[in-house]
Amino acid sequence: MSNYFNTLPLREKLNQLGVCDFMDSAEFLDGVNALKGKKLVIVGCGAQGLNQGLNLRDSGLNVAYTLRREAIEGKRDSWKNATDNNFTVGTYEELIPSADVVINLTPDKQHTAVVNAIMPLMKQDATLLYSHGFNIVEEGMQIRKDITVIMVAPKCPGSEVRAEYVRGFGVPTLIAVHPENDPEGKGLAQAKAYCVGTGGHRAGVLRSSFVAEVKSDLMGEQTILCGLLQTGSILSFDKMVEKGIDAGYASKLVQYGVEVITEALKQGGITAMMDRLSNVAKIKAFEVSEELKDIMRPLFQKHQDDIMSGEFSRIMMEDWANGDKNLLAWRAETGETAFEKTPAGDVKIGEQEYFDNYTLMVAFVRAGVELAFETMVQAGIKPESAYYESLHETPLIANTIARKKLFEMNRVISDTAEYGCYLFDQACKPLLANFMTTVETDLVGKNFNAGKDGAVDNRALIEVNDAIRSHQVEQIGAELRKAMTAMKAIKTA
């Protein structure tokens, strides 16, 4: 198997990277009809598998689960998840041959083995559904030509996919059809119907391609989403302890701060996040983030280049073959950091205090989101896709840090994201060493405004506000947040 993207001529590379269409709700008026009466078989029953299946069944579709024989015989968690909720469960041999749609919701690393096992069992003209394109794009998996290959990727953890559905809503979702495997031209209709079945059509659907999804997803998770949040958290904690701030306070500020700060990002983009700061602090955070962007730009570009060339997946797959040597070493190293080992102190930190005392993180988030977005767009990824994989997902990852720090973040994300996160973190920390020597406790640990005269120069403030607001990620973000159904519009009305 060879990297699919690298087999394409430049014209076709650009063509597929450029698939990006925010779909109108009128496109979903046909509901689940394209899948009605069809037999849907889900491979794997973890959080995504179970919750998507519950939604699909409640939408009137016929759903069953197939698991490896050992999982069934050992009555593992995946078997319990499926049987306790009254789903039919069977082996590949029992269920795949009659399936109209096979849904592969196993971890990336198992895809090649799983697909090789199920493909020979799949009936003529069936459909294979992925929720991530790594196997097709980076590993170059070749699927039998009669089989339709589609992707439906809810952009939220499995538990949210269920929670939002039963509330009568859904989570933002990305769909795609693999151009090499759409022999009957039915792929898009089926992907849309699946999306309705999980409730995604109510929350905003982005039509993408396997290529655009993989190249943007990898870039986002390695840089801003996981990599930079990890680096920024560890450096901030170490700096505070070095400067004599109470370790319990520092631990709590870092653990919960990123969630509070990015909540503003979720609701109103970089602008809203920066507006939570006083005018003096905002100007400072702007200057610091500009400096951070200059320092980190080459690293962001290297990550994007390695993702585009396939170099990243090559070295990661090398590590897979090597028994995850690097992944496990880096995971252990993260578990040993002082931040991870210091429990959050029993101190109350007010909502505004997280902004005032953690201005450095605001600067990190602005720098990271803008850099990731800019680098993706320069590499040929459309702004809408770049927005989803940078700004949109940052608060979701931040939530995981608030729950149980970096350990939790790295547990929840895929192994692929975790590997890329460590790769970035390893390179980014030394890169920021000089910068960090200039950081004082007014940027992290203490209130930036304390002891400062709040006066600012009008023109300086106007310039800073203008630079923040006119960035492309803000303009596309405002449009997409509005379009993610009328929900936001109505809720804030």
Give the catalytic positions in this structure.
Answer: 132
Among 48, 66, 78, 233, binds other proteins (CB under 8 A): 78
Residue 384 burial (10 A CB sphere; 0-12, 13-18, 19+): buried
CA 205, chain centre distance (Å): 15
Among 70, 84, 336, 346, binds other proteins (CB under 8 A): 84
CB of 309 to other proteins, least distance (A): 38
Integer Cα distance of 393 and 398 in angstroms: 9
Q: Cβ closer to other proteins: 349 or 379? A: 349
Integer Cα distance of 408 and 40 in angstroms: 32
Among 80, 109, 186, 297, binds other proteins (CB under 8 A): 80
Integer Cα distance of 142 and 135 in angstroms: 9
Q: Cβ closer to other proteins: 33 or 309? A: 33
Helix count and strand count (H, E) for the chain: 25, 9
Q: Cβ closer to other proteins: 68 or 382? A: 68
Q: Which amino acid is present at 481? A: R
| Among the residue ranges 132-140, 162-170, 206-214, 332-340, the one whose residues contact other proteins (CB under 8 A) | 162-170
Among 314, 341, 404, 411, binds other proteins (CB under 8 A): 404
| Among the residue ranges 105-113, 166-174, 303-311, 452-460, the one whose residues contact other proteins (CB under 8 A) | 166-174
Q: What is the DSSP string of 41-91?
A: EEE--SHHHHHHHHHHHHTT-EEEEE--HHHHHTT-HHHHHHHHTT-EEE-
Say which residues have a Cβ less than 8 Å from residue 50's Cβ, sequence separation at least 6. Answer: 81, 82, 85, 158
Does 167 interact with other proteins (rule: CB under 8 A)? Answer: yes
Q: Identify whether the C-beta of residue 58 lies closer than 8 Å to the C-beta of residue 121.
A: no
Q: Cβ closer to other proteins: 338 or 489? A: 489
Chain residues 17-56 in contact with other proteins, contact rule CB under 8 A: 32, 36-37, 50, 54
CB of 472 to other proteins, least distance (A): 28
Does 347 interact with other proteins (rule: CB under 8 A)? Answer: no
- Residues that bind other proteins (rule: CB under 8 A) add up to a total of 33
Residue in 219, 257, 218 with CA at minimum distance from that of residue 237:
257
Does 145 interact with other proteins (rule: CB under 8 A)? Answer: no
Q: How far is CA 121 from CA 39, 70, 458, in A?
A: 15, 18, 69
Q: Which residues make up the interface to other proteins (CB under 8 A)? A: 32, 36-37, 50, 54, 57-60, 62, 77-78, 80-81, 84-86, 159, 162-163, 166-169, 202, 403-404, 408, 485-487, 490-491
